[in-house]
Amino acid sequence: MQTVSTNANEIGVIKLRVGVPKKEGFTQFVNVVWDSHENKYNVSGYCMDVFNAVVSNLTFKVSLQIEPYDIDDSKGSTRTYDSLLHQIPEKYDVVVGDITILAHRAQFVDFTLPYTALGVRMLVPVVHGRHQTMWIFVKPFSWDLWLSILIISVLIGFVILIMERNVHIVPHQNQSSPYRQQLNAITILWFPISQAILPERHVVAKKCSRFVLMVWLLLAFVLMQSYTANLTSILTVDQIQPSSLTLNDLRKHGYYVGYQTGSFVYHLLVQQLQFDPSMLKAYDNIDDYHDALKRGSQGGGVIAIFDEVPYLNAYLHKFGSNYIKAGSTYRSEGFGFVFPYNSNLTAHFSRAILNVTDNYHLMHEIEKKYFGRNEELQKQSVQVSSASPSLTFHSFAGLFLITGISILLALFVSEILICQKSISMVREYIQRYLLRSPTEARVHPNDIHLTQQQGTYQADQGGIV
C-alpha cells in the first residue's frame, strides 16, 4: 500500500496510480485508447477532464500514472465496477470514472464529493402531434380567464344599465337605441358582447356610458387578438410532450423498461419501484438505448429507460430531438472519485472539487464539450415543451384592473352628475314656490279671469303661453 503525506510543506510531488474503467459503452465519460506510437494509454472523457481540473486546483503537485481496468458488466462477470474498487489500495491509489457513490461501496472505500448531477430519471419518446378535440376552441384561454371575461361583461352591462336609466326619450332619436328600448336585465350580458362584435357609435346617450363602452372595446380588441394568435399556434405548431405514462401504467400493463448493464438502477427498479425483474432489459450503450426505444415494448424493445441523469444527458445530446426526461427524480448521489478507506487525500480532492464545480464557465465548457449544453438548459427546454399553451387570467390581470377602475370611476362621475342635477332642481323648486313672499302669492280674481281670456285669445291665434 502506498503511504501518502498531504502536508504541502513536507512533500514535493505525489505519485498516484489512477485506475480508470475501460468499457465499450458511454465513452463520453471515460474513453481509454491505446497509443501504439507512444506506447501508453490515452484517457479522455468528461470524468477525466473534471479530474484534471481538480488536480490543477490542488495545493500540491501530483504525478499521475494511468492504469485501465477492463469492465465486463455481463451477468456472472467478476470484472465489475465493484471489483475495480476492491483493487484499492493494492493496485490503485485513486479510481476515476463514472463511479456512482453508493452506501455499500462506502463501507470499504472513500468517496469525494459528487461532481455530477444527482438522481435517476425516466427517458421516454416524445409525442409529436396536435391533440385536437371538438372543444379545442376554448383551449387558447384557461378557465379562470373565461370566467373573468364573463364577469367583466356582466359588470359592464350592469353599469351601462344604471347610467342610462334616467335618459329621457329624445325626439328624432334612433328608435332602435338601447335607451329608447329601456335597457333591461336581459341586455346586461348580451349588450357588451354585441358591441364587441358590431360596435355602434350612437348606441348610448351619456358620455360616461360611451367612455365605458370605449374601455370595453379596447379590452375586447386585445382579448380577441390574443385568442386568435394562440388558437392559430395550437392548430398549426407541432406540440411536443412526453409520453403520458406513469409508473403504475408501466407496471400494470406489463411494459418492458430498460436500464444500463451492471448499474445499481436495477436494484432501484426491483426493490423500491416494485418492477417485475422479468420486465427489465439491460443495455450497454447509447445506441442500444436508441434501438430499444425505437422498437418499443411490443416490438422487442422497451417503452422507457431508467438511468442516472448524466447518462441520460449524454443520450439526449445525440438523440434529444425525439426523447425527453419525464417523471419524478429518484435520488442518487452522483459520481465521485474513489480513494482508499480513511485516505487523507479525500478531503483535499473534495475541496478542489468545490472550487471546480463553483466555476460556472469551466464546468459549462466541459459539459458543452461532451453533452452539447448544460443541465439547466435541458431542464428549461423540458418545461417549455410540456407547458400548457392556454393563456391565464394572470396574463391580462393588469388590463382587467385598469378596466375595472375605469368602469367604477365612470359610474361614480355619472351618479355625481345625476345627484347634482337633482339637487339643482330641488333648490329651484324651493326658491320658486316655497320661498316667495305672501304678497306675491296673492292674485286678484279679475287678474286671473283676464289672464285666462288673454290665453284663450292667443290660442285662437295659434299659440299657447
Q: Which residues are annotated as a binding site for L-glutamate?
A: 100, 105, 263, 308
Phi, psi of 363 (to 5 degrees): -65, -35
- Among candidate residues 19, 121, 89, the one with its CA nearest the CA of residue 341: 89
Residues 6+ apart with CB under 8 A from 410: 159, 163, 208, 209, 211, 212, 215
Which are the contacts of 218, defined by CB distance < 8 A and separation ≥ 6? Answer: none
If we measure between CA atoms, which residue out of 184, 189, 193 comes closest to residue 165?
184
What CA–CA distance (Å, rounded) separates 329 from 351? 27
User: Is 314 in contact with 26 (CB distance < 8 Å)?
Assistant: yes
Which residues does the annotation place in the binding site? 100, 105, 263, 308
DSSP result, 386-407: TS---B-GGGGHHHHHHHHHHH
Pairing of strands 338-340, 323-330: unpaired
Helix ranges (H only) for 97-142 are none
Lookup: cell for 224: 380577441
Which one-letter DSSP state was computed for residue 248? H
Contact, 335 vs 99, CB < 8 A? yes
Q: Which residues contact 340 (CB under 8 A, 6 or more apart)?
A: 1, 88, 89, 93, 109, 110
Residue 361 host element (H or E): helix 360-371
